Chains A and B, each alone.
Chain A
Amino acid sequence: MKQVFSKPVSLKDVQTHFCPGCHHGSIHRLVAEAMDSFGIADKTIGCASVGCSVFLYGYFTIDVVESPHGRAPAVATGVKRARPDRIVFTYQGDGDLAAIGTSEIIHAANRGEKITVIFVNNTTYGMTGGQMAPTTMPGQKTSTSPNGRDVANDGKPFKMAELLSNLDGVAYSARVALNNPRNVLQAKKIIKNAFQYQVEGKGFAFIEALAACPTNWGMNPLAANERVGSEMIPYFPLGVFKNNENL
């Protein structure tokens, strides 16, 4: 019988610690499939951040360095400059990349570091228990915005994929979602593109992945998945915002 589906070799055969309905596992898989498609797992270095995504090394078979909160783009810069022939990616959440780490991401992007950034936006701080993030939706209730995010007090959510696409150093910036099979297939293609940019030495690539966090949203997995489609995508539109093959 012809085998049509298997586990990516870049992923370990382990049980996930992520909550039911969380999209981290799906995103891990797509990143692993992208690495497999180029056969680069043995020359890739992952830069883990803090929060739910810190356990990168528990799932991927690749070498991983852990970074302080928000600093993964700086750590990745050090890695890539020290080993320019390696493939380097960061994997960061919204509380990491769009709050404490805004300086590091914007400057790494502006320098055009030849790295790939996987940005998982679930509109909340997951591991710390569901506090308000820079990407929390207007009116969204969290443990630190109990009456809902008040944009007059807290500002509006950052649209990181659009923001970074304005920087000349950025080669590729896109937003994907994992809420239905069509979007997953699109995300797979776009994440692969992001790695291709680096394999070809073209420059900084940024992927924002909209993700569900059922536990902290106080929803069951299905409802959380539906929220991605009904609330998040209208505010955070999917698409490729920058695709500069000429860099």
Chain B
Amino acid sequence: MSALKRKFVKGNEAVAMAAIEAGVQCYFGYPITPQSDIPEYLSRELPKAGGTFIQVESEIGAINMVLGASACGVRAMTSSSGPGISLKQEGISYMAGSELPGVIVDIMRSGPGLGGIDASQADYHQATKGGGHGGYRIIVLAPNSGQEMYDLTMLAFDLSDQYRMPAMVLADSVLGQMKESIVPHPRPKADLPAKEWAVRGTGGGVQNVVKSLYLGDGEMEKFHWKMHARYQELADKESRWEEFATDDAELIVTAFGCTSRIARTAVEMARAEGLKVGLMRPITLFPFPKKGYAELSARCKRWLTMELSTGQMVDDVRLAVARDAEVEFYGRPPGAGSLPTPEELFTQIKKFC
């Protein structure tokens, strides 16, 4: 890929382009709106890049193919939306239990059930609290632009390999379907650990086993404490967030993904009227950037969380801010036409200023 040449693409296409640039060797997926541009792009382009594309019979099959390919030490990914992500949870739990990397893209649509195809942020709990059985976590990155769909997809592969756990890019139908200009760039050099654990055939050497079954006395407990320490290390080293106009803010709005774009416009409207309002946008949803919230809330005690749901991230915000900080919530559950306007959010901001 020629570096630094601007392209005008859908967010979903940016994800697929980044995956190829990141060296994904295997993509396994199943069509579902609003993410089907990803398998469509990769079915066309991945074989040209020497990789494998399979349209699988089910989301369950797809995530287990990711598990198998990842166990061999190659970069593998899948993508879907709510109903499909629910089906993938079994495989994601097994991957977490087997300490396997792999990238899962969730272009959120509304639910529960079949719901609709419009933007939603109501998969937040499912993505950040484990989703499947067994008390694990995965890395969750939340882009808010076409450029970040590209950048964070690439980062997801590196973090996933670095920490030996699945990583999810959590976006929504607005970000997936919206066309923006992006600047693709080559994969940055990362100092990643060699995959000594991968199954490749012993070659006459030691046997490698990829498994999640722990039956020996104390083995499972030991595994959980090891993963807990890894999650702590992630929080210390990889928490990412973005602040806007927070230095003198008396009210800080917080939102992720596409909502943060609308919130930023509303914050700019507030600033234009002389209101001291700032914006805090978490980029990593797991690890949740608790440090950023704690530092900001030490001096700013009024918060407003905005989400395309009846409130899920707000739980994490309340836990992350100082105890005496006040957290208000404004949400629009998903449904056709329920995307809030900047004016609507500005009205909410004024209520709390």
Residues on A close to B: CB < 8 A?
41-45, 47-48, 54, 57, 61-68, 71, 74-83, 86-87, 103-104, 107, 111
Contacts A62-B202, A81-B52, A82-B25: A103 and B68 contacting too (C-beta < 8 A)? no
Which chain B residue lies CB-closest to A71?
B64
- Is A65 a contact of B58 with CB atoms below 8 Å? no
Question: Shortest Cβ distance from A225 into chain B, in angstroms?
Answer: 29
In the complex, per-residue mask of B127-142: 1 if CB is within 8 Å of any chain A CB, else 0: 0000000000000000
Q: For B68, what are the chain A residues with a Cβ–Cβ distance below 8 Å?
A: 47, 65, 67, 74-80, 82
- 19 interchain pairs, CB-CB under 8 A: A41-B202, A44-B201, A45-B200, A62-B202, A64-B211, A68-B90, A71-B67, A71-B91, A74-B67, A75-B64, A75-B67, A76-B68, A77-B61, A78-B28, A78-B65, A82-B76, A86-B201, A107-B56, A111-B54
> Which residue from chain A places its CB closest to the CB of B94 in the assembled complex?
A68
Q: Per-position contact with A for B39-72: 1 when CB-CB < 8 Å, else 0?
A: 0000000000000101011101110111111111
New A-B contacts (5) at CB < 8 Å, excluding given A78-B28, A82-B73: A43-B203, A64-B208, A75-B64, A83-B200, A107-B56
Whether the Cβ atoms of A104 and B64 lie closer than 8 Å is yes
| B274 lies within 8 A of chain A by Cβ | no
B32 within 8 Å of A by Cβ? no
A-B contact count (CB 8 A): 136
Among the interface residues B52, B67, B74, B98, which one has the most CB atoms of the partner chain A within 10 A? B67
Residues of B within 8 A of A68 (CB): 64, 67, 90-91, 94
Please give the number of chain B residues whose Cβ is less than 8 angstroms from any Cβ of chain A in the complex: 40
Which residues of the partner chain A approach B212 to less than 8 Å between Cβ atoms? 66
A63-B201, A75-B71 known; A81 vs B211 contact (CB < 8 Å): no
A77 touches B65 (CB 8 A): yes
Find the residue from B56, B72, B98, B199 having the highest chain A CB count within 10 A: B199
Residues of A within 8 A of B58 (CB): 103
User: Please, which residues of chain A bring their CB within 8 A of the CB of B66?
Assistant: 78
B4 sits at the interface (CB 8 A) = no
Interface residues in chain B, defined as those with a beta carbon under 8 Å from any beta carbon in chain A: 25-26, 28, 52, 54, 56-58, 60-62, 64-74, 76, 90-91, 94, 98, 199-204, 207-213
Q: A65–B68 Cα gap in the complex (Å)? A: 7
**Cα–Cα, bound, A48→B211 (Å):** 9
Those 9 A-B pairs whose CB atoms lie nearest each other, nearest first? A78-B68, A74-B64, A78-B65, A63-B199, A75-B68, A43-B201, A78-B69, A82-B69, A66-B211
B-side contacts of A79, CB under 8 Å: 68-69, 71-72, 199
Shortest Cβ gap from B67 to chain A (Å): 6
* A80 proximity list for chain B (CB < 8 A): 68
State which of A42, A74, A77, A111 has its C-beta within 8 Å of the C-beta of B201: A42
**Across-interface contacts of A44 in B (CB, < 8 A):** 201
- Which one of A57, A83, A104 contacts B61 once the chains associate, using CB atoms below 8 Å? A104
The smallest beta-carbon distance between B136 and chain A, in angstroms, is 14
**Across the interface, which residues of B come within 8 angstroms of A77, CB to CB?**
54, 61, 65, 68
Could you say which of B52, B65, B90 has the most chain A C-beta atoms within 10 Å of its C-beta?
B65
Q: How far is the CA of A96 from the CA of B73 in the complex (A)?
A: 26
